[in-house]
Amino acid sequence: MIDINNLTQTQKRIFIIGIIIAVGIIAFYVYSKDNNYEEISTEEIMVKNETQTEETTDTEKIVVHIMGAVKNEGIVELNEGARVSDAINSAGGLAEDADMSKINLAYVLEDGVKIRIPSINDEHTEEYITTDGVEIVESSSQTTQNGGNSKSGLININTANETELDSLPGIGPSIAAKIINYREENGDFASIEDIKNVNGIGDSKFEELKDLICV
């Protein structure tokens, strides 16, 4: 170890200058290392943010029509995979008279769907959510999400029970039972005209029924 007291004045100056230089070199090295770390960290953050932005931009959108007992009826744009609850939120939420007993809030929506949120004052509760002729939620008279093209106020001859069929003009319990038997043996009716294949329903009776039934 150097004894500074034994050094000449010149040697002391050189020794002190050397210490100052060494400290400066160490400080510069530490500062450069920290600054480089910050630069790398900032770059990583920027790359991560750009990736997240690209992922958000790439998210597919769907457009749905929501109406009925919501605060703001109309067209809303949602992310793909959105549910009925998301559409309701985008419409400002439910109206005070909304009836949610037959609406599945967790149902995953598709592009082009029409959603009708019922009111507790509605007399008819058919067809709340439809896409291309396919009902998605339960109606007042049947469990839907079938392949039938249900129309409000019409009797679906593919799903109606005997009582509902019996309510049609010219269709008594006997023919209603035949319609149900025909469905069970041959499958669903492809069109309303196919009901004429049921024994007891001819052209004249079909004319009475055609505006009251659907498939």
The CA distance from 4 to 42, in Å, is 47
Among the residue ranges 35-49, 77-91, 179-193, the one predicted with the least confidence is: 35-49
Could you give the residue ranges of the DSSP H alpha helices within 81-172? 84-90, 162-166
Extract the tokens encoding 23: 């400290």
CA atoms within 13 A on the CB side of 209: 30
Give the pLDDT score at 5. 63
Nearest in space to 192 (alpha carbons), one of 167, 177, 211, 165: 211
Give the pLDDT score at 31. 67
Bridge-based pairing state of the strands 61-68 and 74-79: antiparallel
The CA distance from 27 to 192, in Å, is 90
57-82 residue pLDDT tens: 567 889 888 888 889 988 899 998 89
100-145 residue pLDDT tens: 776 778 888 888 888 888 888 766 544 445 444 434 444 333 333 3
Q: Give how far Cα 204 sits from Cα of 103, 169, 200, Å.
A: 40, 12, 11
Residue 212 neighbours by CB distance under 10 Å: 15
Could you give the residue ranges of the DSSP H alpha helices within the chain? 9-58, 84-90, 162-166, 173-186, 203-209
Residue in the block written with tokens 């400066």: 24
137-190 residue pLDDT tens: 443 333 333 333 344 468 899 988 988 898 888 888 889 999 999 998 998 899
